């Protein structure tokens, strides 16, 4: 069962499988340097189309939360909120893509429904960009 596209009883474990995560520093750097950006009020979303790899999903997501955004407790809370918003959005692009999400400090106090809506709009912008043939 795919945790990103089909939330249900098995999604009680809210971790992303490794195949859905951006793990290597080089992958993050490639998205930052070669990819495009979408700015939102509580986050910045970086994205880049990539070649499909066997054994990996269409979408790989990474989160970057710098120390300037707060102590470890606050940073981890931001990442948990972002992961849940991504999971509930259920975004599955038609192409293989890497996405990096950088939250802003305002994410901590934002209403979760607002955050979900912002995530959905960001993913729609990513999808539109891919449909236009951009990176």
Asked whether 45 and 101 are in contact (CB, 8 A), the reply is yes
Q: pTM of the predicted model, to two decimals?
A: 0.81
Q: How far apart are CA 54 and CA 68, in angstroms?
A: 37
Q: What is the pLDDT of residue 20?
A: 84
Q: What is the pLDDT of residue 6?
A: 46
Task: Enumerate the β-bridge partners of residue 99.
Answer: 47, 61
Asked whether 113 and 37 are in contact (CB, 8 A), the reply is no
Beta strand segments in 12-134, E: 36-39, 43-49, 59-63, 97-103
Q: How far apart are CA 21 and CA 30, in angstroms?
A: 15
* pLDDT tens across the length of the chain (135 residues): 344 444 444 445 556 677 788 999 999 999 999 999 999 999 999 999 988 766 666 889 999 999 999 999 999 999 999 999 988 888 777 778 999 999 999 999 999 999 999 999 999 998 888 888 765
All domains of the chain, ordered by start, with CATH?
17-131 (3.30.230.10)
């Amino acid at each position: 069962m795919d945790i990103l596209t089909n939330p249900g009883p098995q999604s009680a474990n809210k971790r992303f499988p490794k195949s859905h995560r951006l793990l290597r520093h080089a992958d993050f750097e490639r998205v930052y340097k070669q990819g495009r950006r979408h700015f939102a009020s509580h986050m910045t979303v970086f994205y880049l189309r990539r070649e499909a790899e066997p054994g990996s999903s269409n979408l790989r997501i990474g989160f970057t939360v710098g120390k300037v955004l707060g102590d470890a407790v606050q940073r981890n809370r931001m990442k948990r909120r972002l992961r849940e918003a991504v999971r509930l959005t259920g975004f599955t692009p038609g192409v293989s893509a890497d996405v990096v999400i950088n939250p802003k400090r305002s994410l901590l106090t934002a209403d979760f429904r607002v955050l979900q809506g912002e995530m959905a709009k960001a993913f729609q912008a990513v999808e539109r960009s891919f449909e236009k043939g951009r990176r």
